[in-house]
Structure 1
Amino acid sequence: MEYVLTNCLIYTEDKVEHGYIIVENQKIKCVEAGHYRGALECHDMHKQHILPGFIDIHIHGGYGQDFMDADLTGLQHLSRSLLTEGTTSYLATTMTQSESAIMTALSTLRDYHHHQSSEGAEMLGIHLEGPFISEHKVGAQNPMFVERPSRARIEKFQAQADHLIKIITFAPEVDGADEVLDQLHDSIIFSMGHTGATFDDINEAAARGAKHITHLYNAATPFEHRQPGAFGAAWTNDDLAAEIIVDGIHSHPAAVDIAYRIKGRDRLFLITDAMRAKGMRSGIYDLGGQDVTVTHNTARLKDGTLAGSILRMNQGLRNMMQYTGRTLEELWPVTSLNQAEALGIEDRKGSITEGKDADLVVLDDDCNVIMTIKHGVMHRFN
């Protein structure tokens, strides 16, 4: 299979190029300026915007499915549905539940990963959100199943997952956190979240090898001028990158703008933190064994606690442009390149470069998804 995408606005690491892309055998064969004049099959993109496919490193589900369901058919449906929002790769994110539920989910995700279809977004690995969090900052996680981290416990989960766990969200202040961070930070990305850690706690954990902040501004100690908290540390520590949910609900638009001004485009990851109700009607849905009421654009537990989001990646990018006043040319790395570099897969994903996977998303001027290309296969939506 070889074809040409012509008349494109191509977003590369260096610039925006009006030109064409040749796709061959699931890979980007070449990226060129100007007009294609060869004999290959051509697809006119009508000056639409072509970006690398989005990589969502924190997503619990969507389109009626949840990764904790441990349902292979559901995983296939979810992966196909993610293409509609431009997501071509993701980390399946688990919840704080019983050991048996987590182990079952991990084994199912392992099996799915080894036999996943090329017809949907690609599961790159697993983000273990909990159970090694603070019972004082559980958010929508279930406090019944919070536990303390240990190397043996993490290695048991990792063995069950066939070493697919790429990120673990944990609270750095709890007993056992220092030890596992010291011992395992070279093989797993430790992300700090659902935590009561102080400013100093966060910085100390970063010095020990923690690399990320989970969903900035949510479920952690807030910034105060005398106690800067987790978010103050996230802002000021250059060794830390931060996830952010840009739905206008989890964080005020001005807070998103502040985060971008401080961290810059290279240290932020746009995530959805989406739950199963994404893409579904308003109603009551399950999240980690708890009922979540979804109305309009929000998902909340009975007590009003935010319970993930129903955000789509392309919507998050549109919102970020609006909240920060920045251009698509400046912002696109927060959807793909930063994630690829963090996961160590930038040699094959995350930017539009010769030799990389042909994982692309075509957007109109309002960030609506016109087409998603996964491993060279075109999926049209508008």
Structure 2
Amino acid sequence: MNYVLTNGIFHTEEGPVNGHIIIEEKQIAGINPGEYTGPLECHDLSGHHVLPGFIDIHIHGGYGEDFMDADLMGLHHLSQSLLREGTTSYLATTMTQSEEAIKTALTTLKEYHKQQSEEEAEMLGIHLEGPYISEFKVGAQNPQFVQRPSIDSIHDLQTAADQLIKIITFAPEVEGAAEVLAEFHDKVIFSMGHTVAGFDDINQAASNGARHITHLYNASTPFAHRQPGAFGAAWTNDRLSTEVIVDGIHSHPAAVNIAYRLKGPEQFLLITDAMRAKGMIDGTYDLGGQDVIVKNNSARLADGTLAGSILKMNDGLKNLMAYTKRDIDELWRVTSLNQAKALGIDDTKGSIKPGKDADLVVLSPDCNVLMTIKKGHIHHFN
């Protein structure tokens, strides 16, 4: 599986390279300007943009599937489908449900992780969104199953998941939160969300090891000039990276632009927070045991509460370019490199560099996915 991608604009950490890259044995072997003149098979990219494959660290499902279904065949279908939007890696994200349902999902994800194919988007691990959240900011989570965190409960869930839990979304103000943060902050990423914590509480948790904000602007305390809230802490604390759902529905485009200006290209992480209706027609779908009505590109509970998104990663990047008026050579980092660095896997993923996995996406000027490459395997979508 050795070949060359030629006549592309390859966006690297050092800047764009107009030329070709050599793929050898599932990895990037070389990046060079100009034309390729060697013996390997060439794939002409017609001058299109080439980015590292997208890494979605907060996704509940899509294409009719949900990680809480605990369905191995469904997981394969979802992972194959994610390649269509340029996503080559992801964290399977769970919901606030019963302990039994969560453990069943974790056990199934553990089994899937052992058998996943190199020709599918790669499950890197698990994002546990809840149940350790505030009952006062549940959003579309089920308040019936909100729990208080404990060291024993996290040990139990990690055992069920075979240590695959990489991110835990939690409310830092609830009972038990400080203890689990102290115990596990160097083992998993604690991301603050679904919380009523104020500015000082968020900053204190960041000082104690919390590193992220879950879907900034949603299900947390807003900014006011005398009470800066979670938003103000997220904007101004350099210890904190911020997830943002860039669909134009969860947050106003101007609010997205503000977050990007304040966090910059190193601490802004584009996510989808997508649920099973992504890639499907409008209708009613299940999310965590609750009906979600999908209409006009939004997913909501019957009372109007936003319930995840139907956003695709390539569309999120297209939106971010429009909202911030920045170009793709600056913004590609928020779809891959920042996520790889956060997860500690930037030695193999997250940028186009010799020695890294051949996980790539080829985009048209309007961010349509033309080709996705996973571990060197080429998938055409034009």
| Both structures adopt the same fold (TM-score exceeding 0.5) | yes
Correspondence 1:145 to 2:145: yes
* Number of the residue aligned with 1:189: 189
Structure-2 separation of matches of 1:36 and 1:183: 52
1:259-270 matches, cutoff 5 A: 259-270=259-270
RMSD (Å) for aligned C-alpha atoms: 0.4
**Distance of 2:118 and 2:73 partners within structure 1:** 14
CA distances 1:64-86 after superposition (whole Å, capped 9, x unpaired): 00000000000000000000000
Q: Which amino acid aligns with 1:133?
A: I
Q: Give 3-state SS (helix, strand or coil) of 1:265's partner.
A: helix
How far apart, CA to CA, are the structure 1 residues paired with 2:185 and 2:237? 18
* Separation in 2, partners of 1:49, 1:117: 26
Once the two structures are superposed, residues 106-153 of structure 1 have per-residue CA deviations (whole angstroms, 9 ceiling, x without a partner) of: 000000001111121000000000000000000000000000000100
Where 1:317 maps in the other structure, the secondary structure is helix
Letter in 2 for 1:11: H
Provide the aligned length of Structure 1 versus Structure 2.
382
Structure 2 match to 1:276: 276
SS at match of 2:157: helix
Instruction: State the match for 1:70 in structure 2.
Output: 70
The answer for the alignment partner of 1:198 in structure 2 is 198
Please report the TM-score for the alignment, with normalisation by the length of structure 2. 1.00
Partner of residue 325, structure 1: 325
The equivalences for 1:199-348 within 5 A come to 199-348=199-348
* Equivalent-residue separation in structure 2 for 1:261 and 1:186 (angstroms): 29
> 2: CA distance between counterparts of 1:241 and 1:268?
6
1:371, 1:19 → 2: CA distance?
17
The SS at the match of 2:163 is: coil
User: Cα deviation per residue 1:171-190 (whole Å; 9 max; x = unaligned)?
Assistant: 00000000000111000100
Cα distance in 1 for residues equivalent to 2:118 and 2:34 = 31
Secondary structure of the structure 2 residue equivalent to 1:273: coil
CA deviation string 1:17-63 (max 9, x = no partner): 10101001100011111110111100100000000000000000000
1:25-44 equivalences under 5 Å are 25-44=25-44
- Give the fraction of aligned pairs with identical amino acids, expressed as a percent: 71
Aligned residue number for residue 115 of structure 2 = 115
Cα deviation for residue 343 of structure 1 reads 0.1
Secondary structure of the structure 1 residue equivalent to 2:4: strand
Shift of 1:347: 0.4
Matched, 1:374 2:374: yes
Give 3-state SS (helix, strand or coil) of 2:51's partner.
strand
Residue of structure 2 equivalent to 1:10: 10
**What letter matches 1:66 in structure 2?**
D
Equivalent in the alignment of 1:48: 48
Instruction: Report whether the alignment pairs 1:79 with 2:45.
Output: no
Q: Structure 1 unaligned runs (5+)?
A: none
**Rounded Cα–Cα distance in structure 2 between residues aligned with 1:362 and 1:374:** 12
What is the CA–CA distance in structure 2 between the aligned matches of 1:10 and 1:116, rounded to whole Å?
Answer: 28
C-alpha separation in 2, matches of 1:101 and 1:158: 14
CA offsets 1:307-334 (integer angstroms, 9 cap, x no match):
0000000000000000000000010000
The residue aligned with 1:358 is 358
State the Cα deviation string for residues 215-266 of structure 1 (Å, max 9, x = none): 0000000000010000100000000000000000000000000001100010
Larger deviation: 25-34 or 63-72?
25-34
**Gap runs ≥5 in structure 2:** none
Q: What residue identity is the alignment partner of 1:337?
A: L
Runs (4+) of structure 1 moved beyond 2 Å?
none
Distance in 1 separating the partners of 2:318 and 2:108: 34
Specify the alignment match of 1:163 in structure 2. Answer: 163
CA distance in 2, matches of 1:184, 1:168: 10
- What do the CA deviations read for 1:289-311 (whole angstroms, capped 9, x no partner)? 00000002000001000000000
